[in-house]
Structure 1
Amino acid sequence: MMVDVRPVDRHLPLAIHAQISDGFRTRIASGEWPPSYRLPSEPELARELAVSRGTLRKALHTLIQEGLLRQVRGKGTFVTSATIEPAIAQKLSTLSEDYASQGIVTTTEVLESGLVVPPSPVAALLNVESDGRVFRLYRRHVAVNGPVALLHNYVRATDVRGIDDIDFTKERLFATIEGVYRLKIATARRSFSAQRATAKTAELLEIAEGDPVQYLEQVTYLADGRPIEYSDVWIRSDRLRVTSLLSR
């Protein structure tokens, strides 16, 4: 998807790089480019704006200095979050894989699934056109002592045609993407925070409304750099702890 950027006006007294940074700043402030959104590559942006790479880099540098963008070597340029996000390197695994590695037995309930037009922040993160469709999957994981997690996934539908016919009470999402569609999942950006359970979340996790839950947000990328999946996950922390094994 080509990014929708405001064309520069070479007749304005404002410098071109400042026009570009103003346009990008507006998209970030409006939420059109949400936190963790990865901008297209510099060659793509420069080509669409019809400016030199040097001019584009001046605009990006301005927003990086303001804290609105961050660059990750080998990954690209991202919209920053309003909260502090220390980076922790760890193996990318799913909750189902973590359950299996720990010998935890769970069942999966599919609450909703199907092709939908995604919310605009999700569309931006997945580089989906404003009227494009994604596969939406809403599930609950239940252990022997009760529900432990809610998972709300969105997958780019153009990359996984027919995925809405798969029974995800039996199949795993990432295993399906890799095994059935032969797409190599390589990296993900994952953020954790604490939230108070909404009425619906509380009902499904069998807790009181307003009780604390651990919230996980993730954008997953293929080996070629394309985003493939976005997920919101709510975890009942008194029944499930997320642990990272790290090395320095």
Structure 2
Amino acid sequence: MSDQHAIDRDAPIAIHAQISEHIRNRIATGDWPAHYRLKSEPDLAAELGVSRGTLRRALTTLIEEGLLRQVRGRGTFVTSMTFEPSIAQRLSTLSEDFANQGVVFDTEVRAKEAIGPPRPVAALLDVPVGGEVLRLSRLRSTAGEPVTMLTNYVRLDLTPGIIDTDFAEESLFGTLEGRYGLKIGTARRTFSAEAADDEIAAALRISPGQPVQYMQQVTYLVDGRPIEYSDVWIHSGRLKVTSLLSRR
């Protein structure tokens, strides 16, 4: 159902309640996954053909239900159903951390292709129907031992020609900032533990089902546009993730 057809003005149900139910359905079906940022209130109200007051009433209902949350200055997001402590730390990539610590590492590019993104990724990156992203899969190793498997999805509309980059030698963030002049502002990282499937187990040289640390990341430019989504699997026995925290 398109957003334009989400409203039945002849129905006995109030319009704001119809909007709330429409958004619930988008979340339940995965069209709007956790951390998805809704369009601005003016844009969403125009898309639905309703007043901002009506839309705000619908959003308030969903915020009170815990399905949405508002972040001052950033917008309204779909709430994650898992507890996520807020960890303040510098946004850096694994390759940057390795370089800063003098760690020698190798990068094997396993896949580099333009694809139609999976539906949750398309939503998180604001990729329109029919749009494509770069899918980049890499394996990072130190001292001959694999430590991380990464799969990145990058918006191609903002990075024409990026598929020709040699990512065995070039870093993704370095390419986005250096070649395309894109200013990376923030990212949201979510950590969890997962059982390695056959593909990840083979890549990291562990047994299928063995636990690995899993990280999801959505990266935003300074103007708020999403630019990259990534899945990262970490061999916890070979790589520890440390956060440096400040009380104030």
TM category, shorter:
over 0.9
Partner residue of 1:160?
Answer: 159
The letter of the residue matching 2:169 is K
Partner residue of 1:59?
Answer: 58
Structure 1 segment 206-245 matched on structure 2, within 5 A: 206-245=205-244
Task: Tell me which moved more, 127-136 or 225-234.
Answer: 127-136
> Secondary structure at the residue paired with 1:70?
strand
Partner residue of 1:122?
Answer: 121
Partner residue of 2:194?
Answer: 195
Contact 1:214 1:237 in 2 (8 A): yes
| Matching of residue 176 in structure 1 with residue 157 in structure 2 | no
Cα distance in structure 2, aligned partners of 1:142 and 1:243 = 19
Residues 48-94 of structure 1: per-residue CA shift (max 9 Å, x gap): 11222221111111111111111111111111112111221211111
Which blocks of at least 5 consecutive residues in structure 1 are unaligned? none
Contact 1:120 1:130 in 2 (8 A): no
Partner residue of 1:38?
Answer: 37
Residues 103-136 of structure 1: per-residue CA shift (max 9 Å, x gap): 2111100000011111111011111122211011
Partner residue of 1:88?
Answer: 87
Partner residue of 1:135?
Answer: 134
The letter of the residue matching 1:116 is I
Cα distance in structure 2, aligned partners of 1:148 and 1:243 = 15
Cα distance in structure 1, aligned partners of 2:169 and 2:131 = 28
Task: Tell me which moved more, 151-160 or 128-137.
Answer: 128-137
What is the Cα deviation at residue 102 of structure 1? Answer: 2.0
What is the Cα deviation at residue 145 of structure 1? Answer: 4.8
Contact 1:215 1:232 in 2 (8 A): yes
> Secondary structure at the residue paired with 2:230?
strand
The letter of the residue matching 1:129 is P
Cα distance in structure 2, aligned partners of 1:143 and 1:136 = 23
Contact 1:197 1:209 in 2 (8 A): yes
Residues 172-227 of structure 1: per-residue CA shift (max 9 Å, x gap): 00010011001111011110000010011000001111111000000011111111
What is the Cα deviation at residue 9 of structure 1? Answer: 2.1
| Matching of residue 106 in structure 1 with residue 118 in structure 2 | no
Task: Tell me which moved more, 41-50 or 190-199.
Answer: 41-50
The letter of the residue matching 1:22 is E
| RMSD (Å), alpha carbons | 1.3
Cα distance in structure 1, aligned partners of 2:217 and 2:145 = 24
Cα distance in structure 1, aligned partners of 2:175 and 2:144 = 28
Cα distance in structure 2, aligned partners of 1:174 and 1:32 = 27
* Residue-pair matches, total: 246
> Secondary structure at the residue paired with 1:158?
coil
> Secondary structure at the residue paired with 1:183?
coil
**TM-score, structure 2 length as denominator?**
0.96
**TM-score, structure 1 length as denominator?**
0.96
Partner residue of 1:22?
Answer: 21
